[in-house]
């Protein structure tokens, strides 16, 4: 390991002051991305600011939202009865992350701030229209999930900002689903899809959100798929047409794991599955 200074502040204010005071200082949360990066010399911070002592691990329901602290561990999202009831998409998505060891240590804030283009939680947060709370030397601000992810491993956070919490609207009257395909269980997926579908009393789609992961540098919302559904009865044919419309608008790149053409094919198949499941759940949804 490269030598570095280590600090473990007890308040968010102290952590921000340490980030602001030192160029290249890095936050350490669950360490599941940062420690491998240190080991392989991909990151060489002179200062590590360990945020594990900060009071940012609560799950609280407020006014139609769930506030998730940045230090909520992946396994809490997976197992908490409250998260499963209020935001079932998050519990479903996080179950695909890594393995039990990674989910025991990894944090929500770390996953979102790391912004791996194939990671599951960013895709789910964009689909749920979450808002991110950040604190920096210049004060606090909110960032919509749709504006947070800029490029691979790049977010809207400034170098001296800490992601402190995420506000997720409680899922009411909608069905949600998350599906993905990875080469081996626990790997980052080749493609993932999150779907949120609300159906009105006439049996037509009142609203739909379809978001892909693994196809570009950041989660990609599919307006063509959403437009193909809104106002229509969600029949299998309509869902297949929406998934096809999504595929036609995608231009995934080829990399060492899969060709762009294969990823586009997967996107259509997985979108169809996610939309079918979300629609079935919407039609049987309980009033929460």
Least CB distance to ligand FAD at residue 2 (A): 15
Reading the block at residue 250, the tokens are: 């995608």
A 10 A CB-CB count for 159 gives: 12
Q: Please report how the helices 260-283 and 236-249 are oriented relative to each other, as an axis angle in degrees rounded to 10.
A: 150
Shortest distance (Å) from residue 28 CB to ligand FAD: 5
Concatenated DSSP letters of 58-85: -EEEETTEEEEETT-BHHHHHH-HHHHH
* Residue 172: CB minimum distance to ligand FAD, A: 26
Contact call for residues 105 and 32 (beta carbons, < 8 A): yes
Say if residues 103 and 142 touch (Cβ distance below 8 Å). Answer: no
Smaller CB distance to ligand FAD: residue 94 or 275? Answer: 94
Helix (H, G, I), strand (E, B), or coil: what is residue 168?
A: strand
CB of 14 to ligand FAD, least distance (A): 14
Closest contact distance (angstroms) between CB of 125 and ligand FAD is: 12
Give the ranges where the chain is alpha helix by DSSP (H): 12-21, 34-39, 74-79, 81-86, 88-94, 100-105, 108-114, 120-127, 145-148, 223-229, 236-249, 260-283
**Nearer to ligand FAD (CB atom), residue 53 or residue 249:** 53
Helix-then-strand count for the chain, H and E = 12, 14
If the CB atoms of residues 113 and 215 are measured against ligand FAD, the closer one turns out to be: 113
Contact 176, 278 (CB under 8 A): yes
Q: How far apart are CA 72 and CA 76, in angstroms?
A: 7
How far is 112 from 38, CA to CA, in rounded Å? 19
Q: Footprint of ligand FAD on this chain (CB under 6 A)?
A: 26-34, 36, 70, 97-98, 102, 106-107, 109-111, 113-114, 116, 119-120, 157, 162-163, 188
Distance CA 123, CA 115 (A): 10
Give the nearest distance from C-beta 269 to ligand FAD in angstroms. 20
Beta bridge partners of residue 167, listed in sequence order: 67, 131
Please identify, using beta-carbon distances, which residue of 57 and 206 lies nearer to ligand FAD: 57
* Minimum CB distance to ligand FAD, residue 100 (Å): 11
Q: What is the CA radius of gyration of the chain?
A: 19
Query: With respect to ligand FAD, which residue has the nearer C-beta, 103 or 281?
Result: 103
- d(C-alpha 127, C-alpha 160), whole Å: 27
CB of 274 to ligand FAD, least distance (A): 17
143 vs 177 by CB, closer to ligand FAD: 143
């Amino acid at each position: 390991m490269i030598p570095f200074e280590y600090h473990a502040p007890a308040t968010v204010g102290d952590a921000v002051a340490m980030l602001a005071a030192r160029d290249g200082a890095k936050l350490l949360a669950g360490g599941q991305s940062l420690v491998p990066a240190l080991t392989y010399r991909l990151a060489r911070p002179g200062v590590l600011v360990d945020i594990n002592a900060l009071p940012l691990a609560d799950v609280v329901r407020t006014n139609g939202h769930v506030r998730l602290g940045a230090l909520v561990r992946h396994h809490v999202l997976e197992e908490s009865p409250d998260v499963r009831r209020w935001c079932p998409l998050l519990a479903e998505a996080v179950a695909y992350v890594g393995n039990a060891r990674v989910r025991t240590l990894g944090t929500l804030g770390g996953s979102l701030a790391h912004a791996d283009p194939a990671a599951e939680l960013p895709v789910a947060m964009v689909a749920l229209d979450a808002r991110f709370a950040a604190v920096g030397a210049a004060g606090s601000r909110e960032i919509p999930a749709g504006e947070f992810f800029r490029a691979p491993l790049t977010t809207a956070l400034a170098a001296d900002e800490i992601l402190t919490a995420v506000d997720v609207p409680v899922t009411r009257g909608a069905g949600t689903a998350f599906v993905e395909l990875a080469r081996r269980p626990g790997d980052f997926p080749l493609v993932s899809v999150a779907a949120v579908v609300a159906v009105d009393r006439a049996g037509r789609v009142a609203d739909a959100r379809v978001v892909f992961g693994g196809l570009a540098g950041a989660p990609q919302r599919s307006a063509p798929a959403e437009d193909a559904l809104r106002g229509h009865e969600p029949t299998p044919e309509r869902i297949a047409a929406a998934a096809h419309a999504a595929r036609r608008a995608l231009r995934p790149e080829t990399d060492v794991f899969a060709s762009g053409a294969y990823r586009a094919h997967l996107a259509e198949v997985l979108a169809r599955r996610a939309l079918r499941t979300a629609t079935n759940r919407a039609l049987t949804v309980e009033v929460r």
